[in-house]
Structure 1
C-alpha cells in the first residue's frame, strides 16, 4: 500500500513539473516578453491555415498566410499583416515596416506582403 502512495505522489510531482515547464515556455509568453523588451519575434506554425504573430518595438502584429503555386511548387504566395492595436504603432517609421517585410521574406521568399489599414495608408504616403 505504501508503494502505491509513493508512486501516486511521484506521478503528481512529475505532472506538476511538466505543467510548470509547459506554461513557462508557451509561445504567447515568449511573444509577450519580446513585446515588453522591444525585440523582434516571429511565432509561426508550419500549418498554413493558422495565423502567425510577430512583435517589433512593442507593437504586436498578426498575419495570415495564403498558399498558391510559385515556380511550379506549392508555396506561401501572399501574406496579409495587420496590427493588433493601432495605438501601439506610435513611434514606428517606414523603415521599421520595411525591416518587418525583410524578416518575413527571409522565411517566405515567394510571398507578396499586403499590409492592412492603417499601415497600408501610412506606407503609401
Structure 2
C-alpha cells in the first residue's frame, strides 16, 4: 500500500513540475525580456482588456503605453494611448523612423487611437529635421 501511495505522489510531483515548466515557458513577460535582450520587436497586449497597459520592446528599449477608452461615432474604443520609455537611457540609437514604425504597429491594433509620446521621446518628434 505504501509503495502505491509513493508512486502516486511521484506521478503528481512530475505532473506539477511539467505544469510549472510549461507555465514558465509560455509566460509573456519572459518573452518580453528575451526580446529586449536580443534587441528584437515584441508587442505584449491584451486587446480585450482596456485597463491593462500595453508593453512593447523595440531595439532593446522597453516601452509602456497607457490606454484610455473613449467614444467614437458608434462605439467605445481605445482613443488615446500615452507611451513612455521605462528607461530613457535605452533610447539611444532610436531614430524618428523607428517611432513612426511603432506608431503604425499600434494603429494597426487600435485604429481610433491618438498616440502621445511622453518626455523625452516627444522631443525627438518635435525637433526639426536637420
The answer, yes or no, to whether TM exceeds 0.5 is yes
CA distance in structure 2 between the partners assigned to 1:8 and 1:68 by the alignment: 53
Task: Give the CA deviation at 1:4.
Answer: 2.0
RMSD after superposition: 0.9
User: Runs ≥4 in structure 1, deviation > 3 angstroms?
Assistant: none
Task: Give the CA deviation at 1:3.
Answer: 2.0
Secondary structure, aligned partner of 1:64: strand
Alignment match of 2:65 (pick from 53, 63, 66)? 63
Residues 55-93 of structure 1 show CA distances to partners (whole Å, capped at 9, x for unaligned) of 001110001111111121011100010000111000111
Task: Tell me which residue corresponds to 1:116.
Answer: 118
Task: Tell me which residue corresponds to 2:33.
Answer: 32
CA distance in structure 2 between the partners assigned to 1:54 and 1:71 by the alignment: 29
CA distance in structure 2 between the partners assigned to 1:5 and 1:38 by the alignment: 47
Within the alignment, does 1:84 sit opposite 2:86 as a pair?
yes
Secondary structure, aligned partner of 1:36: helix
Task: Tell me which residue corresponds to 1:9.
Answer: 10
Secondary structure, aligned partner of 1:75: strand
Task: Give the CA deviation at 1:20.
Answer: 1.2
CA distance in structure 1 between the partners assigned to 2:110 and 2:54 by the alignment: 12
CA distance in structure 2 between the partners assigned to 1:4 and 1:119 by the alignment: 61
Task: Give the CA deviation at 1:39.
Answer: 1.3
CA distance in structure 2 between the partners assigned to 1:105 and 1:40 by the alignment: 16
Which range is displaced more, 101-110 or 45-54?
Answer: 45-54
Structure 1: unaligned runs, 5 residues or longer: none
